[in-house]
């Protein structure tokens, strides 16, 4: 009986494989839509430092969708043009507050790290924050299953949270 069922499933799989599924998944396809946002207070410099890590293909698609232009983050000769897109995108999709005060972030730049992009930001000098609020909507303009993981570290105390689409806000008290 098990052999018969196994054969039936195999035949169904072969039959379904020949139907209208003529497009294989793209080579860079991945079923998980996730980014990480690492927010750390640097006590030596009295600044908040942020590192965003986003899959390159997803990030390029989000940039193209938002700015209606071709995005290629891997080409060195297009880096300056891509800097402007990345900066504008990040400014629209990542906001922080330290206490009750908005915390403007200065864009430092981005780099490719294997199949991901790291984007670097930092704040001006501030006092040690007792509370940090983050509004992170990275790739919300692209995927309705987006997961943004947010890590916050102040004085060695690290707190993490996951933001499942459409959730975009998190508050941590230190």
Residue 11 lies in a domain: no
Residue 73 lies in a domain: yes
Residue 86 lies in a domain: yes
Phi, psi for 104 (deg, rounded to 5):
-60, 140
| Cα 32 to Cα 140: distance, rounded to the nearest angstrom | 14
The Cα angle at residue 79 between residues 137 and 69, in degrees rounded to 5: 60
Is pLDDT at 120 greater than 80 in this prediction?
yes
Judged by DSSP in three states, 69 sits in coil
Is pLDDT at 23 greater than 50 in this prediction?
no
| Angular region, 125: left φ>0, alpha ψ -120 to 50, beta rest | beta
Confidence of residue 8 (pLDDT cuts 50, 70, 90): very low
pLDDT of res. 43: 97
Residue 71 lies in a domain: yes
pLDDT of res. 32: 85
Mean pLDDT of the chain: 87
- What DSSP element (H or E) covers 35? strand 34-42
Average pLDDT value for residue range 15-33:
52
Residue 56 lies in a domain: yes
pLDDT of res. 129: 97
Residue 89 lies in a domain: yes
Instruction: Give per-residue pLDDT as tens, 152-171.
Output: 999 999 999 999 999 999 99
**Range of weakest confidence among 21-30, 57-66, 139-148:** 21-30
Residue 6 lies in a domain: no
Residue 103 lies in a domain: yes
Average pLDDT value for residue range 11-22:
40
Instruction: Give per-residue pLDDT as tens, 27-61.
Output: 455 678 999 999 999 999 999 999 999 999 999 99
Give the residue numbers spanning the domain of 140.
31-173
Question: What's the structural domain count of the chain?
Answer: 1
């Amino acid at each position: 009986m098990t052999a018969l069922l196994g054969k039936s499933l195999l035949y169904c799989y072969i039959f379904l494989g020949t139907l209208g599924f003529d497009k294989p998944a793209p080579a860079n396809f991945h079923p998980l839509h996730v980014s990480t946002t690492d927010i750390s207070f640097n006590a030596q410099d009295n600044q908040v430092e942020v590192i965003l890590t986003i899959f390159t293909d997803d990030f390029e698609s989000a940039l193209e969708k938002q700015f209606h232009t071709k995005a290629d983050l891997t080409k060195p000769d297009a880096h300056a043009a891509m800097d402007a897109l990345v900066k504008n995108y990040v400014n629209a999709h990542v906001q922080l507050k330290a206490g009750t005060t908005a915390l403007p972030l200065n864009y430092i730049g981005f780099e490719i790290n294997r199949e991901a992009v790291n984007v670097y930001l930092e704040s001006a000098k501030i006092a040690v924050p007792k509370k940090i609020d983050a509004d992170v909507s990275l790739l919300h303009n692209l995927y309705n299953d987006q997961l943004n993981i947010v890590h916050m570290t102040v004085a060695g105390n690290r707190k993490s949270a996951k933001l499942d689409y459409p959730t975009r806000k998190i508050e941590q008290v230190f």
